Amino acid sequence: MTQPIIACFKLDYGNFILNIDLQLPGTGITVLFGHSGSGKTTLLRCIAGLQHAQQGFLEINGKVWQDSELNLFLPTHKRPLGYVFQEANLFPHLTVAGNLQFGLKRIAKKPGTIDLQHILELLGIENLLKRMPDRLSGGERQRVAIARALALNPEILLMDEPLASLDFKRKQEILPFLSRLHQALNIPVLYVTHSQQEVAQLADTLVILEGGKALASGPLSETLSRLDVPLAQNWDASTVWPVSLIEHETDYHLTRVAFDGGILSLPMIDAAIGTLLRVQIYARDVSIALEAPTATSILNVLPATITGLTDDRGGQSVVRLKVGTQSLLAHITHKSAVLLNLNLGLVVYVQIKGTSILN
């Protein structure tokens, strides 16, 4: 599915107004990011039809699910979607197998569907089938819930903070499964979270919500580095680049990865050549030089163009740069920005002091 998702909703609760007009890509993981009360869950519920927005238009995979002008509203049970709730929300009166079968019994089996066995293996729940939900750990429950949604071979997968109710250990247990799903599925995923970590790890597209409105929406790095969004000003502001592993330098205990804009050296990663990875670069680890530094201990020095610059904010300036096709943020002192006479369009060299691999 490559047709874009068109979602427009107006919902008035008196003390909260949702006003959304979004066009999202029909592939990959789109993360709806925001603090509690930003409307991210409400938006997801509107898309699922669990909440009925008075005014709305929703088109998924070329099919209209809601058009308030035509008085069209497809009830949830007629929408070909998969939904994962914050609490796994398994049926307590059914076994794991019974939960998985619940939806399967109610759909006409289409040819070429993902088979259940494959999903069970992907999520590592093959040996839980006979258990009752109250005999599962939180992480297992959530994995069953994901399998239950995927088993229906939905046209879109909606996930409402699926990790929020889990502790750190359980999160680490599920995140790899989600990353794997990402590569195994060819349906779009809408993923609600308030965790920057999950954004960095999972998002291809990022939508930032605040007070019921979408502040920004677009490809991950581009949106993370937008200067008009508060995220770029945070002390832990970062950008995420997709890279592929090209070479190990065993003598120096380094790994070299390529992105469309150059090559980065990273501390040795235990992965095969060709592996696709995500590299997170914090704005505080990036410094700027006007000329290519000839003698520096920093390995990653790349040419870049300045595409954005904020005013002085408490002595700090945020610089947005383009390296190849990728966006990058640098936090520098306002004094440096003035002394170097940084301007839009200026070609500089960025020195990246540290990176971290996300998967």
Partner 1 sequence: MLATADLDALFLTFKVASISTILMLLLGTPLAWWLARTTCTWKGFINAIVALPLVLPPTVLGFYLLVFMGPVGLIGELTTWVGLGTLPFTFAGLVVASVLYSMPFVVQPLQAAFTSIGEHPLEAAATLRASPLDTFFSVVIPLAKPGFLTATILGFTHTVGEFGVVLMIGGNIPDKTRVVSVQIYNHVEALEYNEAHWLAGCLLLFSFTVLLILYTVLKTQPNVQQLK
Q: Which residues bind partner 1 (CB under 8 A)?
A: 48-50, 75-78, 81-83, 85, 87, 89-93, 102-103, 106-107, 148-149, 152
CB of 189 or CB of 231, closer to partner 1: 189
End-to-end CA distance of the chain: 26
Burial of 311 (0-12, 13-18, 19+ CB in 10 A): exposed
Smallest distance, partner 1 to C-beta of residue 76, A: 4
CB of 100 or CB of 122, closer to partner 1: 100
Smallest distance, partner 1 to C-beta of residue 106, A: 4
CB of 148 or CB of 320, closer to partner 1: 148
CB of 39 or CB of 82, closer to partner 1: 82
Asked if 82 and 154 count as a contact pair (C-beta separation under 8 A), the reply is: yes
- C-alpha to C-alpha distance for 55 and 10, rounded to whole angstroms: 5
CB of 92 or CB of 314, closer to partner 1: 92
Smallest distance, partner 1 to C-beta of residue 319, A: 44
Smallest distance, partner 1 to C-beta of residue 59, A: 19
Nearest to 289 by CA among 253, 336, 243, 230: 336
Smallest distance, partner 1 to C-beta of residue 12, A: 18
